[in-house]
């Protein structure tokens, strides 16, 4: 009982439910290890008693939690209404929110009768922002906390907004250096907004990767979520590129020829996208371009960027510089360099000043091209623009874990518990943030992360949005089945998210597929966070199990036919995804059984689409069936409908096949047509198949730029 009580006080669950009506206890060893990662000693019964007594005493004497949330226009939180009568509260507003020299005050008034609770009365409601709250009680007790005042909801997109979903690296244009880049993104957005009336383009996480040999190609296991990866830069769009003199100009021309060879190999010779080869060429080009002095205006803009980013950017750039010298595994660096605040790291900042500046410059250049992409999207008429993606965590050896060591739980990895679909659970190899450290800092790392991502975004997609509420922690050396859920302060996490999205004027989308704790979707919807609804998973699970009628879909979602982790729509309709998994040895039953079940599922959907008169072309036409699926999405009340860009040209290959590592080329495939031949951005936008599909979402309007044969369906 003592260990369970201690775990509960620190948000650690001692049981979980892998399926309905089944409860599994978490091993005591796991609970003890998780508590240790939170700084709580529970190795022996005596230590459990001491830690429990200390935790209960702290809870009883605490006037305020480290962070208090107040929603604008809503009743004050219990943390304030529970304060004793006579307590004086002072709010020092966030700089810039209001006159910081005039703090706001309120006093807790005594109850007028036994049925009326004490209530704080504000002299004026605090402005939106992150403020400092101070409490002084009549008996001379004192406490401070961070006060987050947030609007009640995030901005909402217009109903019926449609757009594209794409993994940026996979979308090569005729000028790409071997993988899609930010200029390609801007071009796609400008074209889609102007030609199709699209409202958004959603991309994969563009976070900085961990350098290596080879680099981990997954965009969901980055070195840093705080800064983008310069591999996405379009070299020729850098203003200084045009002013490189000889011999640098000749060297750049040679690099462009090598880049063209990389592009040609991917598009016409069956080669995979080679991120490392692309970066090797771009890095050489950037070293040359850096020799061109910045103009006064450009220099001023760069200095402003450095000032705005501050210590965070300096730490990131120093990690990059040290990784060039000592490799990316910072725990193996020479003594002292594993601590960003050590004397050795301070000396390294001076010794490597030139390399630190180089990596700061790369962050700035990437930031400017991200801004250009969003500007191009909005100027094209897009109501949302670029939708950026926030990965659920970072690589354990990356820049973020080095620079923010106190914020991460050592010896822990996040994943998923065993369930009906995966009896072994999952370990994603991503260290979690410590909820106690976040709360104590007023969620500063989280706020800074969101602010950076939202700077040039019309919307933000949050991978595994359930992580705002709880995450499955797996102790190092244990299987995923022996993990435990650790709770976040969901109210605070949501308040910070809503506040930052409000400030940026951005929509928020949560990836809420899979096991979702009761109440999570309702809490997200209350704050205007859209969910993700994928056609094949939307069934009447509480009744017949049949496809869910379009009018019964939720409005607060992005409706799609597939995602980067699922088969393309053509592969789903034809059963190609089953034969692919069979070739890779991933099936748990015979191929015949899997194909039969998949065919029955597909037939049920196609029959339903036919009954709804969404498949006028009849059976046997794969392209028509893909259009029918998207007609169905159009009929739902979903605020946003996302079209997987590979679906527009009939691509059958998934970008990522969960459960594989080297068996399948995850994150390295270019977009291809129905015959498996890679296609360029120019070919995609000119595709009659694309225009026939997009006419489904654009009221059959045929753009003046549509190619011949792209008749409305």
Q: Are 628 and 602 in contact (CB under 8 A)?
A: no
DSSP-derived letter for residue 133 is E
Per-residue pLDDT band at 379 (split at 50, 70, 90): very high
Q: What is the mean pLDDT of residues 253-258?
A: 98
Per-residue pLDDT band at 121 (split at 50, 70, 90): low
From the list 432, 428, 443, the residue with the least C-alpha distance to 489 is 443
Per-residue DSSP letters for 591-603? HHHHHHHHHHHHH
Give the rounded distance of the alpha carbon of 220 from its chain centre. 8
Show the 3-state SS of 509-532.
Answer: EECCCCCCCCCHHHHHHHCCCEEE
pLDDT for res 112:
55
Q: How far apart are CA 93 and CA 147, in angstroms?
A: 9
pLDDT for res 86:
85
pLDDT for res 98:
55
From the list 410, 453, 528, 662, the residue with the least C-alpha distance to 156 is 528
Question: 3-state DSSP call for residue 144?
Answer: strand
Show the 3-state SS of 455-490.
Answer: CCCCEEEECCHHHHCEEEEEECCCCHHHCEEEECCH
Give the total residue count for the chain. 713
Question: 3-state DSSP call for residue 294?
Answer: coil
Helices (H), 380-507: 399-403, 435-440, 444-454, 490-504
DSSP-derived letter for residue 140 is S
Beta carbons within 10 angstroms of residue 248's beta carbon:
16
Per-residue pLDDT band at 119 (split at 50, 70, 90): low
Per-residue pLDDT band at 22 (split at 50, 70, 90): confident
pLDDT for res 125:
73
Tell me phi and psi for residue 530, to 5 degrees.
Answer: -75, 145
Q: What is the bridge-based pairing of β-strands 640-644 and 557-560?
A: parallel
From the list 124, 128, 18, the residue with the least C-alpha distance to 71 is 128
Kindly give, in sequence order, each residue whose CB lies less than 8 Å from that of residue 519, ignoring residues fewer than 6 positions away: none
Q: Roughly what angle, to the nearest 10 degrees, separates helices 343-351 and 296-326?
A: 120
Q: Is residue 376 pLDDT above 70, yes or no?
A: yes
Which residue would you say has higher pLDDT here, 87 or 50?
50
Q: What element of type H or E holds 23?
A: strand 22-25
pLDDT for res 541:
80
Per-residue DSSP letters for 536-571? GG-B-TTTT-SBPPGGGS-SSEEEES--TTS--HHH
* Weakest mean pLDDT among 162-176, 342-356, 413-427: 413-427
Average pLDDT, the chain: 93
Q: What is the mean pLDDT of residues 357-385?
A: 98
**Bridge partners for 471 per DSSP:** 486
Q: What is the mean pLDDT of residues 686-698?
A: 96
Q: Are 620 and 537 in contact (CB under 8 A)?
A: no
Kindly give, in sequence order, each residue whose CB lies less than 8 Å from that of residue 175, ignoring residues fewer than 6 positions away: 183, 234, 236
Q: What is the bridge-based pairing of β-strands 412-416 and 470-475?
A: antiparallel
Q: How far apart are CA 287 and CA 161, in angstroms?
A: 42
pLDDT for res 255:
98
Note if the pTM is more than 0.85.
yes
Per-residue pLDDT band at 153 (split at 50, 70, 90): very high
Query: How much of the chain exceeds pLDDT 90, in percent?
Result: 84
Q: Is residue 711 pLDDT above 50, yes or no?
A: no
Which residue would you say has higher pLDDT here, 90 or 403?
403
- Peptide bond between residue 247 and the one before it cis (omega within 30 degrees of 0): yes
pLDDT for res 588:
86
pLDDT for res 118:
54
Per-residue pLDDT band at 700 (split at 50, 70, 90): very low
Tell me phi and psi for residue 465, to 5 degrees.
Answer: -60, -20
CB-based burial, 386-418: b 16+ in 10 Å, e otherwise: bbbbbbbbbbbbbbbbbbbbebbbebbbbbbbb
pLDDT for res 18:
83
- Peptide bond between residue 692 and the one before it cis (omega within 30 degrees of 0): no
Tell me phi and psi for residue 162, to 5 degrees.
Answer: -120, 160
Q: What is the mean pLDDT of residues 574-578?
A: 95
Q: Give pLDDT tens digits for 297-353.
A: 999 999 999 999 999 999 999 999 999 999 999 999 999 999 999 999 999 999 999
Q: How far apart are CA 515 and CA 16, in angstroms?
A: 12
The helix/strand count (H/E) of the chain reads as 21, 22
Q: How far apart are CA 337 and CA 326, in angstroms?
A: 10
Q: How far apart are CA 205 and CA 400, in angstroms?
A: 15
Q: Is residue 29 pLDDT above 90, yes or no?
A: yes
Q: Is residue 475 pLDDT above 70, yes or no?
A: yes
Q: What is the bridge-based pairing of β-strands 470-475 and 459-462?
A: unpaired
Q: How far is CA 416 from CA 28, 230, 473, 513, 685, in A?
A: 19, 31, 8, 12, 39
Q: How far apart are CA 353 and CA 356, in angstroms?
A: 5
* Weakest mean pLDDT among 89-98, 205-214, 236-245, 696-705: 696-705
| Category of 667 on φ-ψ map: left (φ > 0), alpha (ψ -120 to 50) or beta | left
């Amino acid at each position: 009982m003592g260990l369970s009580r201690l775990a509960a006080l620190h948000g650690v669950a001692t049981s979980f439910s892998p399926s309905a009506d089944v409860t599994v206890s978490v091993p005591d060893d796991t609970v003890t290890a998780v508590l240790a990662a939170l700084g709580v000693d529970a190795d022996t019964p005596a230590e459990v008693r001491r830690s429990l007594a200390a935790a209960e005493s702290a809870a009883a004497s605490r006037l305020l939690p480290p962070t208090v949330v107040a929603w604008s226009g809503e009743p004050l939180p219990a943390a304030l209404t529970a304060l004793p009568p006579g307590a004086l509260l002072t709010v020092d507003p966030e700089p810039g929110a209001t006159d910081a020299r005039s703090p706001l005050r309120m006093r807790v008034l005594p109850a007028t009768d036994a049925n009326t609770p004490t209530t704080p009365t504000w002299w004026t409601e605090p402005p939106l922002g992150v403020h400092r709250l101070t409490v002084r009680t009549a008996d001379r007790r004192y406490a401070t906390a961070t006060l987050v005042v947030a609007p009640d909801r995030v901005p909402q997109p217009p109903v019926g907004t449609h757009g594209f979903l794409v993994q940026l690296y996979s979308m090569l244009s005729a000028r790409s250096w071997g993988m899609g880049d930010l200029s390609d993104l801007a071009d796609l957005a400008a074209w889609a907004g102007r030609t199709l009336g699209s409202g958004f383009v959603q991309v994969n996480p563009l976070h900085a990767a961990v350098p290596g040999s080879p680099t981990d190609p997954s965009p969901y296991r980055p070195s840093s979520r705080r800064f983008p990866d310069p591999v996405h830069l379009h070299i020729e769009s850098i203003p200084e590129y045009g002013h490189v003199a000889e011999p640098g100009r000749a060297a750049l021309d040679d690099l462009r020829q090598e880049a063209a060879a990389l592009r040609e190999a991917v598009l016409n010779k069956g080669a995979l996208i080679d991120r490392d080869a692309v970066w090797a060429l771009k890095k050489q080009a950037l070293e040359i371009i850096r020799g061109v002095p910045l103009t006064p205006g450009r220099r001023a803009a760069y200095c402003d960027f450095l000032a705005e980013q501050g210590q965070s950017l300096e730490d990131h750039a120093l990690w990059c510089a040290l990784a060039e010298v000592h490799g990316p595994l910072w725990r193996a660096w020479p003594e002292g360099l594993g601590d960003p605040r050590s004397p050795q790291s301070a000396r390294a900042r001076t010794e490597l000043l030139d390399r630190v500046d180089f990596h700061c410059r790369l962050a700035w250049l990437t930031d400017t091209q991200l801004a250009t992409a969003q500007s191009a999207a909005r100027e094209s008429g897009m109501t949302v623009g670029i939708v950026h993606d926030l990965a659920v965590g970072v690589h354990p050896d990356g820049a973020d874990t080095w620079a923010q060591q106190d914020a991460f739980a050592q010896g822990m990895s996040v994943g998923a518990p065993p369930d009906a679909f995966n009896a072994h659970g999952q370990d994603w190899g991503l260290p979690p943030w410590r909820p106690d450290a976040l709360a104590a800092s007023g969620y500063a790392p989280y706020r800074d992360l969101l602010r950076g991502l939202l700077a040039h975004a019309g919307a933000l997609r949050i991978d595994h949005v359930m992580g705002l509420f709880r995450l499955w922690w797996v102790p190092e050396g244990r299987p995923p089945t022996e993990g435990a859920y650790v709770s976040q302060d969901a109210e605070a996490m949501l308040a910070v998210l809503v506040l930052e999205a409000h400030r940026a004027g951005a929509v928020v989308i949560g990836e809420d597929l899979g096991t979702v704790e009761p109440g999570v979707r309702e809490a997200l919807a209350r704050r205007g966070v859209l969910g993700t609804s994928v056609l094949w998973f939307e069934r009447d699970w509480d009744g017949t199990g049949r496809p869910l009628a379009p009018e019964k879909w939720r409005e607060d979602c992005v409706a799609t036919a597939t995602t980067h982790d699922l088969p393309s729509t053509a592969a789903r309709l034809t059963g190609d995804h089953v034969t692919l998994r069979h070739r890779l040895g991933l099936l748990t039953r015979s191929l015949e059984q899997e194909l039969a079940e998949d065919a029955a599922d597909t037939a049920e959907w196609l029959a339903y689409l036919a009954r709804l008169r969404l498949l006028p072309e009849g059976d046997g036409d794969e392209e028509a069936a893909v259009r029918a699926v998207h007609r169905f999405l159009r009929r739902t009340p979903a605020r946003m409908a996302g079209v997987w860009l590979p679906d527009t040209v009939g691509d059958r290959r998934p970008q990522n096949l969960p459960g594989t590592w080297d068996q399948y080329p995850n994150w390295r495939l270019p977009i291809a047509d129905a015959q498996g031949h890679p296609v360029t951005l120019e070919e995609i936008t000119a595709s009659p198949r694309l225009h026939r599909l997009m006419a489904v979402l654009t009221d059959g309007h045929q753009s003046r730029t549509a190619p011949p044969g792209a008749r409305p369906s």
